[in-house]
């Protein structure tokens, strides 16, 4: 699926709707350069999951867990691999405790840096790119 | 009273011993197993996560901080229990538990952001309340109103990226090294505004909003687009120093403006900085100037450089103020909270 968002608001609205289709256990790989909109997309997902806390960038923190109250989904695990070179770092911080859990949706920004995690897994790959105009973004989704 | 502080919230493994007689602090040791030093060996490559390093580093770091025979002189242990990365926090907290149990000494559970604020107490100046502290680092950007010890209120924070993160990411966009803050500051310091042949206008995000929140992700994309556009007409060697200068000014502008606004609204007696970005010379210099002009009757404090980035001495200082009120946590009940909000 390919989509073009004219601005941040459209990205947020789409991500919010996308979140409503999640059932738990999904791993969402967000791929894109600085400024492509990965964290914005995650904020939209969080809104769709009715998370009340503010979603900030986890670049320094690496991983943040949010509580969710939506049917079977209990947690959103928000990961940022920007500061890492490979998956080993994510293993160290306990990501495997959350990855693929039936009650958790995991979102990994800069997932292309940690591709070893996704061999043979059920991953939703979302690629984000800057569009032609300044506020525009191109999004490609592969399930 | 002599406190052993332990800090393992994110990247740094640190232990420190600080002592206070009720009038002033003396830092007897402050050991920081700095990730940056380790990875600079590899040409400034982005550092790997510290979790395994915390486990390897914590005991040597604590031993070094205590020094020979130091354990007997400790009156209490203080540990940062959040916010931060759970696996990192657990390392420091487990060691703190063991020491508290083994030494039969009380344990103070400290919030990492609160600890940053206490770095200002190493100036050994009297600090009058209410005080306003801007805690600004790679992972945090918050404005804290402090009405007294243990009486904190977060009155503003970033909606997306932290200021330090903005420095790092814009430095990356401009091809500068890591860590980004010092890299940008160094390049910006050499820039002369008279040399500028083109105009760069970067936004000051949220500078006019009525709240005391911040937003830096828009500044990051503005730098991305500006660099992209300018590189069509000019060479990177010309663009980078000018952009570095302007990014630093934009970040500093927003931080100062909103803090001063908050200081006026809450009629504070002291304004303080804390966190890694408070080591930025330009921020300190300009802030000091604005304070003199706009709030001449208000005290202005910045911590000594070595206590700005994550360190355990500040945790020990915070621990002292908990200890004198006997605000302790039994080691059996010590829990980390990666999302702990002050």
Q: Which of residues 81-140 of A touch B (CB under 8 A)?
A: 82-85, 88-90, 92-94, 130, 134
Predicted TM-score (pTM) of the model is 0.94
pLDDT in tens, B154-186: 999 999 999 999 999 999 999 998 889 999 999
A21-39 burial code (b ≥16 CB/10 A, e <16): ebebbbbbbbbbebbbbbb
pLDDT in tens, A23-54: 999 999 999 999 999 999 999 999 999 999 99
pLDDT in tens, B106-127: 999 999 999 999 999 999 999 9
pLDDT value at B77 more than 70: yes
In whole angstroms, give the CA distance from residue B87 to residue A63: 10
Cβ atoms A109, A80 nearer than 8 A: yes
- The answer to whether the CB atoms of A60 and B165 lie below 8 A apart is yes
Residue B246 in 3-state DSSP? Answer: helix
In whole angstroms, give the CA distance from residue A55 to residue A40: 9
Between the alpha carbon of residue B105 and those of residues B15, B76, B150, B323, the distances in Å are 17, 5, 22, 11
Task: Assess B158–A contact: CB distance below 8 Å, yes or no.
Answer: yes
Residue B339: per-residue pLDDT: 95
Residue A119: per-residue pLDDT: 65
Q: Which residue among B46, B86, B220 sits closest to A94, beta carbon to beta carbon?
A: B86
Cβ atoms B134, B191 nearer than 8 A: no
Vertex B21: Cα angle to B68 and B32 (nearest 5): 45
Pick the CATH number of B2-125+306-333 from 3.40.1280.10, 3.30.420.40, 3.40.50.300, 3.40.1190.20: 3.30.420.40
Residue B183: per-residue pLDDT: 96
B169: phi then psi, degrees, rounded to nearest 5: -75, -35
Residue B238: per-residue pLDDT: 87
Model-level ipTM above the cut of 0.90 = yes
Sign of the dihedral defined by the CA atoms of residues B339, B272, B286, B276, in that order: negative
Domain with CATH 3.30.420.40 in chain B: 2-125+306-333, 131-268
Instruction: Report the pLDDT averaged over residues A122-141.
Output: 92
CATH topology of domain B131-268: Nucleotidyltransferase; domain 5 (3.30.420)
- The answer to whether the CB atoms of B85 and A54 lie below 8 A apart is no
Q: Which residue among A59, A94, A130 sits closest to B165, beta carbon to beta carbon?
A: A59
Cβ atoms B122, B27 nearer than 8 A: yes
pLDDT in tens, B188-202: 998 988 777 888 889
B176: phi then psi, degrees, rounded to nearest 5: -95, 170
Strands A137-142 and A123-130: antiparallel
Pick the CATH number of A2-142 from 3.30.420.40, 2.40.128.20, 3.40.50.300, 3.40.50.720: 3.40.50.300
Nearest residue on chain A to B54, judged by CA atoms? A92
Q: With pLDDT > 70 as the criterion, what percentage of chain B qualifies?
A: 95
Where residue B237 falls among pLDDT bands split at 50, 70, 90?
confident
Within 8 A by CB and 6+ apart from B208, the residues are: none
pLDDT value at B102 more than 80: yes
């Amino acid at each position: 699926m390919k989509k073009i968002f004219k601005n941040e608001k459209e990205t947020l609205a789409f991500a919010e709707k996308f979140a409503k289709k999640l059932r738990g256990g999904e791993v969402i790989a967000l791929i894109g350069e600085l400024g492509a909109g990965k964290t914005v997309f995650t904020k939209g997902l969080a809104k769709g999951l009715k998370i009340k806390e503010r979603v900030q960038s986890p670049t320094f923190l690496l991983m943040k867990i949010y509580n969710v109250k939506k049917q079977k989904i209990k947690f959103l695990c928000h990961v940022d691999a920007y500061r890492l070179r490979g998956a080993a770092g994510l293993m160290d911080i306990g990501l495997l405790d959350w990855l693929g859990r039936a009650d958790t949706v995991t979102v990994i920004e800069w997932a292309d840096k940690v591709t070893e995690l996704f061999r043979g897994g059920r991953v939703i790959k979302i690629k984000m790119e800057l569009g032609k105009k300044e506020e525009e973004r191109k999004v490609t989704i592969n399930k | 009273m002599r406190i052993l502080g332990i800090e393992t919230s994110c990247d740094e493994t640190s232990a420190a011993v600080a002592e206070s007689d009720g009038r002033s602090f003396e830092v007897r040791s402050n050991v920081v197993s700095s990730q940056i030093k380790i990875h600079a060996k590899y040409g400034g490559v982005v550092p790997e996560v510290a979790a395994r390093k915390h486990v390897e580093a914590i005991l040597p770091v604590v031993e070094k901080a205590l020094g020979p025979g130091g354990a007997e002189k400790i009156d209490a242990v203080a540990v940062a229990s959040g916010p931060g990365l759970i696996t990192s926090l657990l390392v420091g907290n487990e060691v703190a538990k063991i020491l508290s149990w083994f030494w039969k000494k009380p344990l103070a559970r400290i919030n990492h952001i609160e600890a940053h604020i206490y770095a200002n107490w190493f100036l050994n100046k009297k600090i009058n309340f209410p005080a306003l502290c801007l805690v600004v680092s790679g992972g945090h950007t918050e404005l804290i109103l402090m009405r007294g010890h243990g009486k904190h209120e977060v009155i503003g924070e970033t909606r997306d990226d932290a200021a330090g993160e903005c420095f790092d990411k814009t430095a990356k966009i401009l091809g500068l090294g890591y860590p980004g803050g010092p890299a940008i500051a160094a390049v910006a310091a050499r820039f002369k505004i008279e040399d500028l042949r083109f105009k760069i206008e970067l936004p000051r995000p949220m500078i006019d909003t009525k709240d005391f929140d911040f937003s830096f992700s828009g500044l990051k994309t503005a730098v991305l687009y500006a660099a992209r556009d300018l590189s069509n007409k000019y060479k990177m060697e010309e663009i980078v120093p000018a952009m570095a200068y302007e990014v630093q000014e934009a970040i500093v502008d927003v931080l100062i403006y909103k803090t001063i606004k908050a200081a006026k609204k809450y009629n504070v007696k002291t304004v303080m900085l804390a966190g890694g970005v408070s080591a930025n010379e330009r921020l300190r210099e300009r802030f000091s100037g604005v304070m003199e002009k706009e709030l001449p009757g208000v005290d202005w404090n910045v911590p000594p450089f070595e206590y700005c980035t994550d360190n355990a001495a500040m945790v020990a200082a915070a621990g002292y103020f908990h200890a004198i009120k006997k605000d302790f946590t039994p080691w059996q009940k010590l829990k980390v909270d990666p999302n702990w909000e002050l």
